[in-house]
Amino acid sequence: MIALLTVIFSFVGALVCGLMPARWHRAIRWVALSTAGLGFAAAFCCALRYTGPGMEDIISRTWIPSMGVGFITGFDGISLPLLLVTGLVAVAGVLFTWNLDHRADQFYAFYFALIGGVYGVFLSMDLFLLFVFYEIAIVPKYFLIAIWGGAKREYAAMKLVMYSFGGSALVLIGMLALFFASGLNTFDLRALMEVDFSSGLQAVVFPVMFVGFAILAGMWPFHTWAPQGHSAAPTAASMLLAGVVMKLGAYGCLRVAVGLMPEGAMVWAPWVAVFAVINIIYGALAALRQEDFKYVIGYSSVSHMGFVLLGIGTLHLTGMTGAVLQMFSHGVIGALLFAMVGTVIYTRTKTRMLDELHRLMERMPGIAWVFIVVALASMGLPGFSGFVYELYVILGAWAALPTWIVIGAGLGVFATFGYTLAKIHEAFFRERSTGDDASDNNNGESDADYPPMTLPEKAGVALLLGASLVIGLCPWLLTNHIAGSLQLLLNRFN
């Protein structure tokens, strides 16, 4: 029951925030913080109580018996890191949006509706229920971006929703195909996992379903919604998008597509790996060219999600463990990068264009150092979670995939170093290249120091960076559970 509390807390919080008058925004943010905190606490309790490797905390109720739909929830070592990361990002998102006063009631109503949906997806053990939560998670994104977003927000919101629903449509087709082919009249994932679907069916349905989910994971060439959507979104929403929503897709790929159709997965795995490597390199190269700081982070998310797909494509315990670990790692680090750019730096400089930033290293040394540490952590600095997942994914790929794919992934790692260092240089160490006249006119003011980080910002940074550090130093806290549950899933292969 504890696991389900995450969903309940979030929806109740959404309701409470939505019913409070907008002018109480100071009270609303405390309600929001406690809602997010309660959700994280529930997820954390799950982590403490989990013994593994099987499914635990199962709640099973019939819901629509005529269609074989049940309300079945539970979690295992694969969902556990994702529950945790959702909780962490939810709390940090509130902290980094601390000063929001524009329609805060509605903002947090949508925010927690989205989070409740995400928790629901990670907990669903029924395919139909999973789909329902998946759809619940899509709708609030539209409003969050279209109402509180930045430039080109309507376009970006519409694009994101169209891509998401496009993916959902593919998923729905695959879902129904499996439902009818099984002949069991049930959507129960545990029952469906026992069914041996025919090889032909698997080979046809697997790509449909995988691509449907992978669209939300930012798979090339269906990735362009991601940088644009992330950039137009308000900070908290882009943190959720990068941190957890993209993981929904990857989770679906792993749990549903690979979990239900092992033979299809084996047929298509090399292609998954190829597309994953394209994702890694393409995202990194595109990031190198961006001039908007948020786009850089958006494309880096696309690139990092490539590592998740690559890990899944290995169909190898080590590689898949790395994939799940990366979902956690990128969840905290990606969200933190968006928070740094979208709130911490933007509220001070009032610009996100890299060539308008001017000598930030001297004017905001503390923030610059924090950003550099976060960027290095995302690059895979030993001691942070980024290093561990990269090791797992590359070693898994080495064991299971042709060498040239590993070389491609290695090039991707190299490209990651390239754009990270290049963009750090451009943002913090470079003098402004344009607009010299402006700085001449009001010199003195343009060189003034920026204020240091506020308390909520510091707390958010400590929370997310600390989580990455803990997992980087003690990876066994998660990897033991992840590998145990993945082993159960992989037992159906061969």
**470 makes contact with other proteins (CB under 8 A):** no
**312 makes contact with other proteins (CB under 8 A):** no
Residue with token string 């994971």? 217
Encoded amino acid at 7, one letter: V
Residue closer to other proteins by CB (options 124, 290) is 290
Interacting residue with other proteins among 285, 381, 424, 488 (CB under 8 A): 285
| Residues 437-444: contacts with CB under 8 Å, at least 24 apart | 439/358
Residue closer to other proteins by CB (options 438, 474) is 474
**229 makes contact with other proteins (CB under 8 A):** no
Tell me the per-residue interface mask from 339 to 378 with other proteins, x by CB under 8 A, - otherwise. ----------------------------------------
477, two tokens:
């806290």
**221 makes contact with other proteins (CB under 8 A):** yes
**290 makes contact with other proteins (CB under 8 A):** yes
| Buried b / exposed e along 317-335 (16+ C-beta atoms within 10 A) | bbbbbbbbbbbbbbbbbbb
Round to whole Å and give the CA distance between 218 and 246.
7
Round to whole Å and give the CA distance between 440 and 438.
5
| 249 touches 217 (CB < 8 A) | yes
- Nearest approach in angstroms of CB 162 to other proteins is 8
The residues in 404-433 that bind other proteins, with binding defined as CB under 8 A, are 415, 418
**318 makes contact with other proteins (CB under 8 A):** yes
**476 makes contact with other proteins (CB under 8 A):** yes
**151 makes contact with other proteins (CB under 8 A):** no
Count of residues that bind other proteins according to CB under 8 A: 27
Residue closer to other proteins by CB (options 93, 472) is 472
Residue closer to other proteins by CB (options 18, 410) is 410
**266 makes contact with other proteins (CB under 8 A):** no
**282 makes contact with other proteins (CB under 8 A):** yes
Binding residues vs other proteins (CB under 8 A): 159, 162, 221, 224, 228, 282, 285-290, 299, 317-318, 388, 391-392, 395-396, 399, 415, 418, 475-476, 479, 483
